[in-house]
Structure 1
Amino acid sequence: MQSNTNGAAERSGAKPRVSGWVLASLALSMLLSSLGISIANVALPALAQAFDAPFQHVQWVVLAYLLAVTIMIVSAGRLGDIFGHKRVLLFGIALFMLASAACGLVSSLWMLVAARALQGLGASVLMALTIASVRDIVADGKTGSAMGLLGTMSAIGTALGPSLGGFLLASAGWRAIFLVMVPLGVLNLLLASRFLPASRPAQKAAGFDGPGTLLLGAALAAFALAATSGGGRFGWSNAVLLAGALVAGGLFLLVEARVASPLIRPSAFRNAGLSGSLAMNMLVSTVMMATFVVGPFYLSRALGLNAASVGLVLSVGPVIATLTGIPAGRVVDRLGASAVVLVGLTLMAAGAFALATMPAAAGVAGYIAGIAVLTPGYQLFQAANNTAVMMDVAPDRRGVVSGMLSLSRNLGLIIGASVIGAVFALASGAIDGAAAPPEAVAAGMRTSFAVAGGLMLAAIAIGYLSRRRLDVALAEDRG
């Protein structure tokens, strides 16, 4: 009966009523992709011991996943536009599940790194097509709430990873942190195949842009390596990698201007709304990554908390994000996306400046107060920005635009880890934060979040100017 109703709705052009199982399948996809990032971090010391490898080698277990996601996420969205969002999403879930099993069964570190890269390829599909699928199946008036749900599940995955990973490491060993994602992947595959509505390839979708994909991948890989290699110092190898990224990026833009079916149309960046949203998304992710990079050093070295207490304080942010994600989406549905974007950015700026000033006077309470302002602002921004970007995107471009949103987020994470980390190291007077005295770490904390607050002011300016340009364009169209 339900399928007949859905079919009639599709033929009439209206979107059918979305069941809870549909949203559950998309939410689980988002949970798995974020869990894949956060659960591996806690295992790095155990992996170094298990494979008798230095940290510089073991960190590739995390880096391979993040690089694969960053390089392929726009292409994953494009494949969804070409072959249908549901079909490609099911493939991505299956790849993620099989790669998770391979991670838990490998016999060498570099086999694990290769399996993690495959897992990242699957995660790129999950990240890109969950947002695109929401726009396919959810009515306009409920899009914000659905985006808020996805934000909540991403926060749950981020919060669950370290605690679940720590428990599994202590009870079953490092292989269990990867194998636990296999049954979750099976459940996700069953839910998505059973309940997610079938999606046809967009009629206007053009062919796959192979040369553009390769050049974009080369540019992003070189940029990511330049940002993360060198042990906190910018040397010749970093300069060469950065130059390679710029060359590959320039060639990518030249190719995209000439091919018949470009992966990313350069003309899209002339759209004030899209380019502004991508820039704001990158800046916001940069600031959020700063809390994970700088926060642990400050809490342990400047405030003297033990490891368990640091973990407890760091969990406050993800818990707040979990509780505020769905309400943030409802606020977007009620007040409109463009207004809520600026509200979210303003709260994030206030939270960043609070983190720069309040912990010095109030200690842990001041740190938690800053996080309690920053995190709801982040959830408001994410729900509103995703809704604003996806609202008017044509069906044949939803996958690639969703991928661009995720790409800008991942670039922000890489920039946050490298640039804000470098600011902290410079301000604290030591490349190794663990070697700096408490007073220096506190100075690094203040400087880092003062910079983060400045980035949020820049994002507010971008949001305001983008809105003004959009209003002018709409007025000209009416005239």
Structure 2
Amino acid sequence: MKSIIAERSEAIAERAPSVRWALASLSVSMLLPSLGTSIANVGLPSLAHAFDAAFQDVQWIVLAYLLAITTLIVSVGRLGDITGRRRLLLIGILLFTLASILCGIVPTLWLMVAARAVQGLGAAIMMALTMAFVGETVPKERTGSAMGLLGTMSAIGTALGPSLGGLLIAGLGWPAIFLVNVPLGVLTFVLAYRHLPADISKGKTDRRGFDMAGTLLLALTLSAYALAMTIGHGRFGPLNIALLLAAVFGTGLFVFAEARAASPLIQLTVFRNRVLSASLAMNALVSTVMMATLVVAPFYLSHALGLNQALVGIVMSIGPVVSILSGVPAGRLVDRLDAPFVVVAGLVAMTAGCIAMAVLPGISGYIAAIAMLTPGYQLFQAANNTAVMADVRSEQRGVISGMLNLSRNLGLITGASVMGAVFAFSSGTADVATAHPEAVASGMRITFAVAGTLIIVALAIAAGSYRRRALGKS
């Protein structure tokens, strides 16, 4: 008996450092894709000058990256399930790192756009497989803490990008905002190679199961939707409508193809799982609202409240800082309480934040609203990801993780377009930049009234899912 206890103690002692190092590699793997998004945004004016290009053209440097992630994230998650997650994650880190080098040395804009698309492919692999690895590297009772840590690292990447990018451009020029990823990529590769568990050998039958037709259909469909939401900057013209119709048609064609595929990219039966379907819907709604804070806040703070650019930057940094501070505690709370209950609690806090944003005036009102909205988002994200990933079968972790990330990205794209259009419409002007301060303040109130309604819809979905779980256990 004593020998058995001693063996278990030794196993636990050996596992603890490996879990910490595995989490360290996953944390940096989550940091890089978010840093790759936010650090490029601040460099767009410098890139427009360097390539002598219009601002609309250099925006494709950001758009190509986001499109690659959005269109491929489910497919690479499925590919990881089939071929081995560790092997594919290492390839993704390598692609991201090499593409970062190319971005720093390319001589033309369109080569830059192509390199950013490759970088986006690497980022898609890293985002999809990082969450999938949590189930293989972390004990189930610590899943919430791990998800909270990954959420914190994503927030750090988003928050660090603008300030780090500004310093690098001022000191070393625009190539530095891409080349800074190289040492981080090398570090991530070494950590992942040394500390993530080896892939389990799969038979030839499993390796033949990648659905190329479904992958192509899904990529084209998601591309059409993403372009419909981004081209025209929120103004829907004939091209946007045509792309949206193509996305609807593509969705139907994808469902038809998957129902007949021998080894489908997405098994349509997973949508019969009400917990997963509810989680994906809530994730999209919540991401739509969080993007509204990024789209609307700069105009509100500068035009309605009269803050200069430096103060706008300081006030807008409050949200990411709160996100960083609340991510890990949110994850620990999920481990101690029931994840669906924490989902509901997070959405209640977000509802209160949206209401505060709509009714509380001035800078103090904005800060108070962000102080409720952001921790609520971190609670929701940690609990929602845990609720989905904790009980997923090993062979499905990659694709389900990809679907969670996809729903988030679709929400961000929709939020940037639709919530931006709501803000412009409710401000009563075609150009928000020249609108009267009272009109901008009115637009802010109406936009977050709509945002609050979306969170209430998510709350209703969560309450229904929580009630079904409670009845299932009784």
Following the alignment from structure 1 to structure 2, what is the Cα–Cα distance between the partners of residues 100 and 455?
37
TM superposition shift of 1:255: 0.5
Following the alignment from structure 1 to structure 2, what is the Cα–Cα distance between the partners of residues 232 and 416?
10
Following superposition of structure 1 onto structure 2, how do residues 143-158 of structure 1 map, counting pairs within 5 Å?
A: 143-158=143-158
Following the alignment from structure 2 to structure 1, what is the Cα–Cα distance between the partners of residues 314 and 157?
16
- The answer as to 2:387 corresponding to 1:388 is yes
Query: Are residues 428 and 313 of structure 1, via their aligned partners in 2, closer, same or farther at CA, if it must alter by over 3 Å?
Result: same
| 210-219 vs 464-473, greater mean Cα deviation | 464-473
Following the alignment from structure 1 to structure 2, what is the Cα–Cα distance between the partners of residues 433 and 232?
12
TM-score (norm. length: structure 1): 0.94
Following the alignment from structure 2 to structure 1, what is the Cα–Cα distance between the partners of residues 299 and 208?
49
Aligned 8 A contact 1:81 1:202 in 2? no
Following the alignment from structure 1 to structure 2, what is the Cα–Cα distance between the partners of residues 293 and 41?
13
Following superposition of structure 1 onto structure 2, how do residues 10-409 of structure 1 map, counting pairs within 5 Å?
A: 18-200=18-200, 207-358=209-360, 362-409=361-408
Aligned 8 A contact 1:269 1:275 in 2? yes
Aligned partner letter, 1:354: A
Number of residues of Structure 1 aligned to a counterpart in Structure 2: 464
Following the alignment from structure 1 to structure 2, what is the Cα–Cα distance between the partners of residues 56 and 337?
43
Aligned partner letter, 1:307: Q
TM superposition shift of 1:205: 7.3
Following the alignment from structure 2 to structure 1, what is the Cα–Cα distance between the partners of residues 17 and 199?
15
Following the alignment from structure 2 to structure 1, what is the Cα–Cα distance between the partners of residues 464 and 262?
32
TM superposition shift of 1:432: 2.6
Residue-by-residue CA offset, 1:221-253 (whole Å, 9 max, x unaligned)? 000111111233211111110111111111000
- The answer as to 2:464 corresponding to 1:455 is no
Question: Which consecutive residues of structure 1, in runs of 5 or more, have no partner in the other structure?
Answer: 1-6
In structure 1, the residue matched to 2:4 is none
- The answer as to 2:414 corresponding to 1:412 is no
Residue-by-residue CA offset, 1:401-451 (whole Å, 9 max, x unaligned)? 000000000000001000000000101122332121111111111111111
Aligned 8 A contact 2:141 2:335 in 1? yes
Aligned partner letter, 2:79: L
Aligned 8 A contact 1:103 1:116 in 2? yes
Aligned 8 A contact 2:347 2:458 in 1? yes
Query: Are residues 334 and 231 of structure 1, via their aligned partners in 2, closer, same or farther at CA, if it must alter by over 3 Å?
Result: closer
Residue-by-residue CA offset, 1:112-147 (whole Å, 9 max, x unaligned)? 111100000000011001100011111011010000
SS at match of 2:306: coil
Query: Are residues 347 and 107 of structure 1, via their aligned partners in 2, closer, same or farther at CA, if it must alter by over 3 Å?
Result: same
Aligned partner letter, 1:281: N
Following the alignment from structure 1 to structure 2, what is the Cα–Cα distance between the partners of residues 76 and 240?
28
Query: Are residues 29 and 156 of structure 1, via their aligned partners in 2, closer, same or farther at CA, if it must alter by over 3 Å?
Result: same
Aligned 8 A contact 2:18 2:195 in 1? no
Equivalent pairs: percent with the same residue? 63
TM superposition shift of 1:72: 0.4
In structure 1, the residue matched to 2:433 is 434
Aligned partner letter, 1:465: G
TM superposition shift of 1:16: 7.3
Query: Are residues 252 and 95 of structure 1, via their aligned partners in 2, closer, same or farther at CA, if it must alter by over 3 Å?
Result: same
Aligned 8 A contact 1:232 1:431 in 2? no
Aligned partner letter, 1:221: S
Residue-by-residue CA offset, 1:39-65 (whole Å, 9 max, x unaligned)? 111111111111121121111111110
TM superposition shift of 1:329: 0.5
Residue-by-residue CA offset, 1:382-405 (whole Å, 9 max, x unaligned)? 110000001111100000000000
Aligned partner letter, 1:385: N
Residue-by-residue CA offset, 1:146-177 (whole Å, 9 max, x unaligned)? 00000000000000000001111111111110
Following the alignment from structure 1 to structure 2, what is the Cα–Cα distance between the partners of residues 329 and 431?
42
Aligned partner letter, 1:161: G
Following the alignment from structure 1 to structure 2, what is the Cα–Cα distance between the partners of residues 142 and 153?
17
SS at match of 1:230: coil
Aligned partner letter, 2:101: A
| 204-213 vs 395-404, greater mean Cα deviation | 204-213
TM-score (norm. length: structure 2): 0.95
Following the alignment from structure 2 to structure 1, what is the Cα–Cα distance between the partners of residues 446 and 414?
16
Aligned partner letter, 1:187: L
Aligned partner letter, 2:157: G
Following the alignment from structure 1 to structure 2, what is the Cα–Cα distance between the partners of residues 231 and 93?
32
Following the alignment from structure 2 to structure 1, what is the Cα–Cα distance between the partners of residues 330 and 18?
20
Following the alignment from structure 1 to structure 2, what is the Cα–Cα distance between the partners of residues 15 and 431?
59
| 95-104 vs 205-214, greater mean Cα deviation | 205-214
In structure 2, the residue matched to 1:423 is 422
Query: Are residues 336 and 473 of structure 1, via their aligned partners in 2, closer, same or farther at CA, if it must alter by over 3 Å?
Result: closer
In structure 2, the residue matched to 1:4 is none
Question: Which consecutive residues of structure 2, in runs of 5 or more, have no partner in the other structure?
Answer: 1-6
Aligned 8 A contact 1:18 1:138 in 2? no
Aligned 8 A contact 1:74 1:403 in 2? yes
Kindly report the root-mean-square deviation, in angstroms, between the aligned alpha carbons of the 2 structures: 1.9
